[in-house]
Amino acid sequence: MKDSYYEHIIHGGDYNPDQWIDTKEIWDEDMRLMDLAHVNSATVGIFSWSLTEPEEGVFNFGWLDEIMDKLQAHGKKVILATPSGARPPWLAEKYPEVLRVEESGMRNEFGVRHNHCLTSPVYREKVGIINRKLAERYKSHPALFMWHVSNEYSGECHCELCQQAFREWRKKEYDNDIEKLNFKWWGGFWSHRYTSFSQISSPKFRGENHVPALKLAWRRFVTDRHISFYENEIKPLRELTPDIPVTTNMMRFYTAFDYQKMSEKTDIVSWDNYPEWTAPDMLSVACETAFAHDIFRSMKNGKPFYMMESTPSVVNWRTENKLPESGVHELAAIQAVAHGADSVQYFQWRKSRGGHEKFHGAVVDHYGKEDTRVFKDTAKLGEALEKLDKAVGTRTKAKAAVICDWENSWAVEAYCGYRRDARDYFRSCQRWYRGFWERSVPVDVVPMDRDLSGYDIVAAPYLYMLKDGVEEKLCEYVENGGTLIATPLTGIVDRDDLCFLGGFPAGRLKDVFGVMCEETDSLYKDEESKVLYNGKEYFGRDLCDVLRPGTAKTEGTFLSGFYAGSPAVTRNVFGKGQAFYTAFCAGDDFIADLLLRIIKEKGLEPDINAALPKGVTARKRGELLYIMNFSREEQKISLEKEYTNHLTGEVIKDAVLPKNGYLILI
Ligand code: GAL
């Protein structure tokens, strides 16, 4: 599989000429403006089904032919979308089964998008037909560059077709043996012994919602639905355009189905990035965004991803849609590239005139001309991106990883107990990620079943559920020389949410960590735990594991709770490696101190050796070093050696980074 598909960074975004079919002079103006904005690509046709197939079996590709030709004439790459995200009214009217049924059991009426059943044979057939037509028509078009399958797949359907498929799927997993299911789902609890698979249905608010194993099974099923729907979509594309890469755009930490699984089916991972850059703590927003980029980059072992959407100015869906300052858009785009993006794309090229998203930011405003702040910022960025060919296709090799796993997030959400309001799994992972990120140490963010052998350090926060084989994998990793870090509630349940017996963490992990967790304490909202480690006091929140020491050496102890004096930080040598157990939910300061110690011990190289001011981060990708200022103030930096500014050719050692500024050095 290739690492890059084009020699330049893709710069473009969602383009909806189908909305301007009655004012086609706008199309020519778009071409002129795209040239001026240094845009080299357009994503076309995402929501155009009602124009392309206005009646069942009647196809109208004239408009798309024209647009593809125009874009080709202007040297733009076309990312062509399949239109399944929103169906035409005739389809819903004629075949009501294509409409989604909500958890309540009510079938939706026509409207909005992502309002379709993922199982419906009719919907799959109709999507298959339109996708085949598109592939047949444009397979040889020189502008066709990539397939954008649907748009942000999401949601679930509870109709009878889906219920039936769910039951069949369960049957298959449990060899058609209902007793196997009863055992795995702990059917003796609350009289839940099923006698037939027909008694099973999706988790529902007004039905079964207290069986965590059912909730996990449903999420896996919803994942399976999306993947099989996607596979149906791409069948004609693969058949007719085998050389054209396929992607489907994802949404940050959206967990209704497993993105890590879905990513295996795409040629290139793509995601839509909408951070709240105007929030008071810009550095934390930058950290969260970097974390997300690294999740998507890590899905394919570091292969570059596409940032399929972002806004060049503002969104329209927050309560307050505050305008970002100048420079922020450019900085955010450069951050994406620094973290592995081979594209900077927008929703949207031009603001729609009507409809729900007419006030969403776009490169071209209703005003329509190029002399706006946003347009000028975009064009300036486009020029900079044209100088980044060196970045394209390059991977980052990280020696550290944070485990952040979609399935585990479901299990964490599903249990009842402990601190019920403090179970933000992604935030827990991000906290450990930050310990590497702020020190400019490259880090991958991987699912729990990934091969860990290439990593020197693996942090596994809140690893509550262990998929089959993960216990052994972690043991092997440490045995062979790895450093593993765990936090409260590690290794508690198996993939079906059955608790491991014989003490936590599961099985041999007790030997790996050299401790056993006997109890877990939940703190009140404003309560803090207090820990003494290395002569310094640290504070934690939410959860504390009460550990029974084994072979591990206690390095830190609790100063709070009835368990004061018991181990809060332990280190165990196991095989050629070591395993740390941090029995409290530590804050940034402890994580930073512990990680720094291990980073030094293991000799992990940061991307830059100079000390950077707070709020300034660095990231190396390929030969280029990106320094980014998220501090909201001008910053002076002093580099450890002379670099060349890759964009201007100037030689730099000491530099002033303006507010929202960045440098790309070589
Ligand atoms: C995305 C979506 C786009 C547009 C955008 C607005 O999630 O894919 O079609 O709605 O949000 O921010």
Closest CA relative to residue 340, chosen from 583, 3, 99: 3
For ligand 1, atom 5, name the residue with the nearest CA.
347
First-residue to last-residue Cα distance in the chain: 28
- What is the secondary structure of 369-401 as a DSSP string? -S-SHHHHHHHHHHHHHTT-GGGTT-----SEE
- Domains of the chain are 400-602 (3.40.50.880), 616-665 (2.60.40.1180)
173 tagged catalytic = no
Task: Indicate if ligand 1 lies below 6 Å from the C-beta of 314.
Answer: no
Q: Which two tokens stand for residue 565?
A: 């004096």
Q: Active-site residue 152, yes or no? A: yes
Residues 236, 238: Cα–Cα separation, whole Å: 5
The structure tokens 């970045």 sit at: 391
How many Cβ atoms are within 10 Å of 261's Cβ, its own excluded? 17
pTM, rounded to two decimals: 0.98
- At 572-609, the pLDDT tens digits run 999 999 999 999 999 999 999 999 999 999 999 999 99
Active-site residue identified among 53, 288, 309, 555: 309
Q: Report how many helices (DSSP H) and strands (DSSP E) the chain contains, helices first.
A: 17, 25
CA of 648 to the centre of ligand 1 (A): 35
Catalytic residue of the set 53, 152, 156, 555: 152
Regions of the chain where pLDDT drops below 70:
1
User: Is residue 151 in contact with ligand 1, taking CB distance under 6 Å?
Assistant: yes
- How far does residue 628's CA lie from ligand 1's centre (Å)? 26
| Look-up of token digits 């449990």 | 174
Cα 501 to ligand 1 centroid, rounded to whole Å:
45
**Ligand 1 atom 4: residue of nearest CA:** 347
SS3 559: coil
* 222 Cβ contact list (under 8 Å, min separation 6): 156, 256, 257
315 lines ligand 1 (CB under 6 A): yes
pLDDT attached to residue 422: 85
What does the alpha-carbon distance between residue 24 and residue 2 come to, in Å, rounded to a whole number?
Answer: 37
Distance of CA 428 to the CA centre of its chain: 15
Which pLDDT belongs to residue 397? 87
Q: Say how far apart CA 474 and CA 468 lie, in whole Å.
A: 12
H/E stretch holding 237: helix 212-240
Residue 167, CA distances (Å) to 133, 269, 655 in order: 34, 31, 63
Predicted confidence at residue 22, as pLDDT, reads: 95
Tokens standing for 184?
Answer: 């795995």
Alpha-carbon Rg for the chain in angstroms: 26
Identify the pLDDT of residue 108: 96
C-beta of 347 in contact with ligand 1 (< 6 A): yes
Q: Is 270 in the pocket of ligand 1 (CB under 6 A)?
A: no
Spatial neighbors of 102 by CB under 8 A, at least 6 apart, are: 108, 158
170 pocket-lining for ligand 1 (C-beta < 6 Å): no
